[in-house]
Amino acid sequence: MLNATTVRNSTLADNDPSLALIALLGQVLSFPGLREYAKIFLIGRALSYLQQSWSTIRDSIWSSFFIKASFEEGDDAYSWMMAWLAQHPASRRGRDLQVVARDYGATYPAIPVETDVSMNESWRKFSYLPSFSATQRLWYRGRHMSVSRIRETTSGYYGRQEESMVIRIMTTDHSTLTHLLLDAQNAYKASQKEEVTVYTSDNYNDWRRVASCPKRPLWSIILDPGLKEGLLDDAREFLESKNWYNRRGIPFRRNYLLYGPPGTGKTSTIQSLAGELGLNVYIVTLNKAGLDDSGLSSLIVDLPEKCIAIMEDIDAAFSGTLNREESKPTLEPANSISETPQGGTTPPPVPAPQTGSKVTLSGLLNAIDGIGAQEGRILFATTNKHHVLDPALCRPGRMYKHVEFKLASRLQAGELFRRFYAPGEGSESELESQGSEGTKETDSRRSEVSSCRKSRRQRAPQLNEAQMDSLASQFADAVPERELSMASLQGYLMEYKTQPHSAVTEISRWVNKEKGLGVAIG
């Protein structure tokens, strides 16, 4: 039955499609079953919406009580937090842990173990860390804190695993987070007391920690009198004079150039100075594949304040590995064929592998002391070919000091001999005194000493002072002045690790052989 209203509605609907849709919906909903279904559907949607809104509101209320901080692997702050967590008692008590064979400075209760010399302290390096699968909850300065470690694989063909960590502290006070970071920094420093951390750059020109090396004592490096002491004093004095530099507007940086034949102790001296100064080492590999000026510059800018940067073999800049002017690939692929001027058939180009660096001389100079060069860092550049260095690199002020490392003098050779056969850890006298500690001696220590005694035949006989003087001077006399490197002498002595007398009787023969082979470098 059509009445006037229906006629009017249908006329309106004819004119407006949206009204037509509503009218159709009204007609469909006029069926009783469908109306019930629509009601249930709408109520369900409304409930789910309310639930979502509630969890968003709850999360934002909840997070307003927390400070959330994230840390990424490769960044120093990540390592600080790892050391702090490893030293936190909660990590020892935790029931879901990651165990790493690395010493983060945590102390564990002494557990008596039957051990021998081969299982000494250096083997007992391990740390407990929160696992990736569970969130660790702990307390910090009376605040509740949670730690979640995350491991993700980056996208792309060469996806690599990256670790990160998120901590939440129940506080709104940022100073709690700052305190935590300072504590973490101290925990890390304490765990690294005996070590120097070494960083190199990755393919993305980010710094990555690659190793922690034991500090090398400065006394173990034998140089001409005053050389290493002078370097150490100078570097110490520099690190303490930031204000002096700032007041005079002089860039607070110091560059040293260490030069001399291979194996004369340049790298060892830098490593040892880093330990003495408590600085980490950042190795800049100038001929790294794909490194260009902007990559080098970003590496230098990203150096932390107060660190040691090493550029080894800086002469590589002048031997064809680095370009002087333009950034163009320097190494041709081995099988590439150059263009024929006569227009002969040229084989299809072979894609050049990413070998060799694209760093230019100006890029290098800029990295050394340009505007972007990091303040407070000490740069050591080393070279075996001082004479080929570009004058621009050697101009006054660019390299603060040029320090020559010479081939071994007789004095150095004699001293090396003494150090090599000096009574030290595990020597007979030391073991005797350890074994006679009487009542203080523990069972495990006793077994350690007895194992040591068993292996005594592998140790050098203990030389008294007179014997040492005599053998060291015979050894030194047989070594020609400034003809052999300390590294080669050290290599020779390694062959007679436990036979100082043979080392002396055989030295002349060995020297003649080395000279005959032209090993001596001058």
Ligand X SMILES: Nc1ncnc2c1ncn2[C@@H]1O[C@H](COP(=O)(O)OP(=O)(O)OP(=O)(O)O)[C@@H](O)[C@H]1O
Q: How far is the CB of 295 from ligand X (least distance, A)?
A: 23
Q: How far is the CB of 215 from ligand X (least distance, A)?
A: 14
Q: How far is the CB of 375 from ligand X (least distance, A)?
A: 27
Specify the residue, 241 or 490, whose C-beta has the smaller distance to ligand X: 490
Q: How far is the CB of 499 from ligand X (least distance, A)?
A: 20
Specify the residue, 88 or 266, whose C-beta has the smaller distance to ligand X: 266
User: How many other C-beta atoms are found inside a 10 Å radius of the C-beta of residue 463?
Assistant: 18
Q: How far is the CB of 130 from ligand X (least distance, A)?
A: 39
DSSP bridge partners of 211: 198
Is 44 in a helix, a strand, or coil? helix
Question: How far apart, in whole angstroms, are the C-alpha atoms of residue 498 and residue 457?
Answer: 9
Structure tokens at 483: 């003809």
CB 232 within 8 A of CB 308: no
Specify the residue, 265 or 356, whose C-beta has the smaller distance to ligand X: 265
Residue 231 φ/ψ region, left for φ over 0, alpha for ψ in the -120 to 50 degree band, beta for the rest? alpha
b/e per residue 70-93 (b: at least 16 CB within 10 A): ebebbebbbbbbbbbbbbbebbee
Q: How far is the CB of 418 from ligand X (least distance, A)?
A: 12
Question: How far apart, in whole angstroms, are the C-alpha atoms of residue 308 and residue 280?
Answer: 6
User: How many other C-beta atoms are found inside a 10 Å radius of the C-beta of residue 226?
Assistant: 9
Q: How far is the CB of 113 from ligand X (least distance, A)?
A: 33
Specify the residue, 403 or 504, whose C-beta has the smaller distance to ligand X: 403
Is 144 in a helix, a strand, or coil? strand
- What residue number has its CB nearest to ligand X? 265
Q: How far is the CB of 291 from ligand X (least distance, A)?
A: 19
Specify the residue, 192 or 264, whose C-beta has the smaller distance to ligand X: 264
Q: How far is the CB of 384 from ligand X (least distance, A)?
A: 5
Question: How far apart, in whole angstroms, are the C-alpha atoms of residue 370 and residue 364?
Answer: 9
Question: How far apart, in whole angstroms, are the C-alpha atoms of residue 406 and residue 425?
Answer: 30
CA 468 from centroid of its chain's CA atoms: 40
Specify the residue, 262 or 304, whose C-beta has the smaller distance to ligand X: 262
Helix-strand-coil percent breakdown of the chain, rounded to 5? 45, 15, 40
- Helices and strands of the chain, counted as H and E runs: 18, 13
Residues lying near ligand X in the complex (CB under 6 A) are found at 221-223, 262-268, 384, 405, 486-487, 490
Specify the residue, 45 or 497, whose C-beta has the smaller distance to ligand X: 497
